[in-house]
Amino acid sequence: MKQDYLVLENLVKIFGSGKDTIVAVNNVNLKVKEGELVTLLGPSGCGKTTALRMIAGFEIPTSGKIFIDGKEVSMIPPNQRPTTMVFQNYALFPHMTVFENISYGLKIHKESAQNIKEKTEKIIDLVDLEGLSKRSPAHLSGG
């Protein structure tokens, strides 16, 4: 059985104070096993991005804990966490192919060429982009 890789325990993020207080993330608990694919789904303003920013280390939780691979990382800076983040805006490298864009993070983390190929092809299949891996972003539909 796979171990929990990402654990959020009673995670809270509050912005502002007094009457201007905004509770962006309210007591979130989550366990993700290694290799699982998870989506945070909810309406605009419900705290999805704030939760991801806390996991990545770009926001400090008001309270609660974040564990990655069994180690508490709640107060560890982003560059010391085994995480990456894709921002919400259009962030594809226009000079790279679909395959190169998808595999970029693996390449930066110095994965083996075989591992990069296997993992990237798996993601391409998962999101139904077979046959498009050699195209540049400019040659893809926007929809």
Q: Which sign does the torsion angle of CA 32, 35, 41, 45 carry?
A: positive
- Residue identified by tokens 């939760």 is 51
The tens digit of pLDDT for each residue in 9-64 reads 999 999 998 888 999 999 999 999 998 889 888 888 899 989 999 999 999 999 99
Domains parsed from the chain with CATH numbers: 4-80 (3.40.50.300), 98-139 (no CATH)
Are the beta carbons of 92 and 136 closer than 8 angstroms?
no
Residue 101 is encoded by which pair of tokens? Answer: 């864009």
How far apart, in whole angstroms, are the C-alpha atoms of residue 107 and residue 52?
22
Query: What type of residue is 105?
Result: G
Query: Which residues, including other chains, have CB under 8 Å from residue 93's CB and lie 6 or more apart?
Result: 100, 101, 104, 137
Bridge partners (DSSP) of residue 13 are: 25
What's residue 88's pLDDT?
A: 60
Of 111, 52, 79, 34, which Cα lies nearest the Cα of 103? 111
DSSP SS3 for 81: coil
Q: State the DSSP H helix or E strand holding residue 25, giving kind and residue range, or none if neither.
A: strand 22-33
- Residue identified by tokens 């709640």 is 74
How far apart, in whole angstroms, are the C-alpha atoms of residue 91 and residue 105?
13
The tens digit of pLDDT for each residue in 77-120 reads 999 999 877 666 567 888 999 999 999 989 988 899 999 999 99
Note if the pTM is more than 0.75: no
